[in-house]
Amino acid sequence: EAAVTQSPRSKVAVTGGKVTLSCHQTNNHDYMYWYRQDTGHGLRLIHYSYVADSTEKGDIPDGYKASRPSQENFSLILELASLSQTAVYFCASRETGGDSDYTFGSGTRLLVI
Amino acid sequence: GDSVTQKEGLVTLTEGLPVMLNCTYQTIYSNAFLFWYVHYLNESPRLLLKSSTDNKRTEHQGFHATLHKSSSSFHLQKSSAQLSDSALYYCALKGTGNTGKLIFGLGTTLQVQP
């Protein structure tokens, strides 16, 4: 069964520290996305990628980097974690096609202290 | 730019009553794709409905929605709410361009009470 797997499921990070969130998909999808979920803000796009070795900025990229070393893997990197980055992060993949929908991972709950 | 509006942040209903969650959107793209996702606590968001056909009713798992391009709306409805319908519901619009990105509304939490 096609799947998107995120790790870790939850993490506590120290302000100023580096955090890497990982996402792995077995869907053979070209597109991958990182969203953050916050109460009152819904799901907001941070970075996305449509091919390996290339990433694009989403709507709220500041403070985040992304890496797509292969079709299957897509990481979100917080070089200097800040309190405002406390949120739930979702990775999703999508195949090419106008009405293709997302397959979401189970989310990573990040607490920055 | 593209946007999605879900005016209700929280909808509380008694079991058995009809459900209607509102969704309106803005886009310059004439062939808009609209989606409804449902997010149960501690699970992944998953697709509930999608449509790009004007004035055609789309149904799945007891829910239905009709895309009305004239009013830029894609409201989610169900005839009779169940306790298990309690969840966070997102309306989403496929953005213009080739990014494939979805633009989500703020979400509506549906609480169904006995």
Residue B98's alpha-carbon distances to A31, A35, B101, in angstroms, are 11, 18, 8
> Do the Cβ atoms of A38 and A90 come closer than 8 Å?
no
Nearest CA in chain B to A95: B100
Write out chain A residues lying below 8 Å of B52, CB-based.
98-99
Classify residue B68 by its DSSP letter.
Answer: B
Q: Which residues contact B16 (CB under 8 A, 6 or more apart)?
A: B80, B81
Residue holding tokens 């058995």? Answer: B16
Q: Which of B9, B46, B90 sits opposite A43 (nearest CB)?
A: B90
pLDDT mean across residues, chain A: 94
Residue B50's alpha-carbon distances to A28, B10, B35, B63, in angstroms, are 22, 22, 4, 11
Among residues B105, B103, B99, the alpha carbon closest in space to that of A45 is found at: B103
Q: How confident is the model at residue A39 (pLDDT cuts 50, 70, 90)?
A: confident
Write out chain A residues lying below 8 Å of B100, CB-based.
31, 48, 50, 94, 96, 100
Across B29-43, average pLDDT: 91
Q: Which of A94, A96, A107 sits opposite B44 (nearest CB)?
A: A107
Burial of A35 (0-12, 13-18, 19+ CB in 10 A): buried
Q: What is the pLDDT of residues A8-21, one digit of tens each?
A: 999 999 999 999 99
Across B52-75, average pLDDT: 96
Nearest CA in chain A to B99: A50
